[in-house]
Amino acid sequence: PKRGLSTTRPGTLLKHQVAFKTFADWTETVPGFVEVDLVAHCGWTGAGPFLYTLTLVDVATGWVSCAGLRDKRAQTVLAALRKLQEGLPFKIRGLDSDSGSEFLNTSLLDYCTDQHITFTRGRPYRKNDGCFVEQKNWAVVRRLVGYQRLEATALAALERVHDLARDYVNFLHPVRKLTEKVRRGARITRRYDTAQTPYRRLVASGVLSKTTTRQLARRSTGLDPLHLKLELESAQRTLADRAVRPVIVHPLRSDSL
C-alpha cells in the first residue's frame, strides 16, 4: 500500500520522565485510554509548510476523533488535543504517543499532569507500539483524505471532512475487534468479536452517565446515513480541489529550440 512521508523527529526533552508502553501492554477494556499520532499531508515533499491531522483513538471502543493542524508545534498540537477532548463523550484516563517532539514536551506533560492523565510513549521507530492509532491513520485518515499535499488554504476543508467522518465512523461504521491471537508453529490464528460501532461499544461499557447516554442516543437516531455519506463525499471533493498539485517541469530538448 502507498505510504506517506514520515515527518516525526525524536523528542529529547523528558524522555526519561515518560514511560514506554509497547503494543503488548495494551489490555485496557475501559474507555478513556487513547493513542494519538500525527499524519503529515505533505504530498510528494516534506519541504515547506503543510497541514497535519491529529488522530486520536480509544483503545477499548475504537472511538476515533481527528483534527486538522496548521503545523506541528507543541502548542498547536496541545490546542487541538484540548479541542478533541472537549468533544469526547468520555474522560481521557491515559494518553499514549510516539516519541516525537510534537508530543514529548513539557506542555503536553504538564497538561496530562493537571488533568490526571497517565502519559506514556511508544519506543522510537517501533510503529507497532502505536498499532491502534496507526491502523486508524490508514483506515480513516488516508482513506478519506489521501496522500495529497495540503497547505494553509485547505485547513477549513480538512476540518470539514474530519467533522463529518467523526459521526460516520463512530455511529455508523461497525468494526470487528481482535480478541485472541494464537500461534501454532508458523501459523497465526486470529479471532474477532462481532462487529459493532464504537458508539455501541461505548454504551455497552457502562461508564457513561445517563445524560451522556441519552445525548449520544439522540445523536445516533438523528443521523441520516445516506445524507451523511453524500455530505462526506462532497467534502472530500472540496478538499481535493484545495490540494496543491506538483509542478512538472519537462527537460528542455535541444531540438525544440
Q: Which CATH class is domain 19-240?
A: alpha beta
The C-alpha atoms of residue 78 and residue 86 are separated, in whole angstroms, by: 12
- With beta carbons less than 8 A apart as the criterion, state whether 130 and 97 touch: yes
**3-class DSSP string for 117-165:** CEEEECCCCCHHHHHHHHHHHHHHHHHHHCCCECCHHHHHHHHHHHHHH
Phi and psi (nearest 5°) for 103? Answer: -110, -40
Which tens digits make up the pLDDT trace of 81-96?
999 999 999 999 999 9
User: What Å distances lie between residue 116 and 14, 69, 89, 131, CA to CA?
Assistant: 18, 25, 17, 24
Least confident piece of the model among 70-79, 100-109, 229-238: 100-109
Cell, residue 91: 474522560
CA 134 to chain centre: 8
Arithmetic mean of pLDDT over the chain: 87
Which tens digits make up the pLDDT trace of 157-171?
999 999 999 999 999
Highest mean pLDDT among 87-91, 95-99, 126-130: 87-91
Residue 26 pLDDT greater than 70, yes or no: no
Mean pLDDT to the nearest integer, 180-208: 89
- With beta carbons less than 8 A apart as the criterion, state whether 11 and 38 touch: no
User: What Å distances lie between residue 91 and 12, 55, 147, 202, CA to CA?
Assistant: 29, 17, 32, 12
- Predicted pLDDT of residue 181: 74
The C-alpha atoms of residue 73 and residue 5 are separated, in whole angstroms, by: 18
- Predicted pLDDT of residue 117: 93
Q: What would you report as the CA-atom Rg of the chain, rounded to the nearest whole angstrom?
A: 20
Residue type, 185: G
| Beta-bridge partners for 10 | 100
- With beta carbons less than 8 A apart as the criterion, state whether 196 and 174 touch: yes
To 5 degrees, how large is the angle CA 206–CA 91–CA 222?
Answer: 65
The C-alpha atoms of residue 251 and residue 246 are separated, in whole angstroms, by: 16
| Beta-bridge partners for 51 | 41
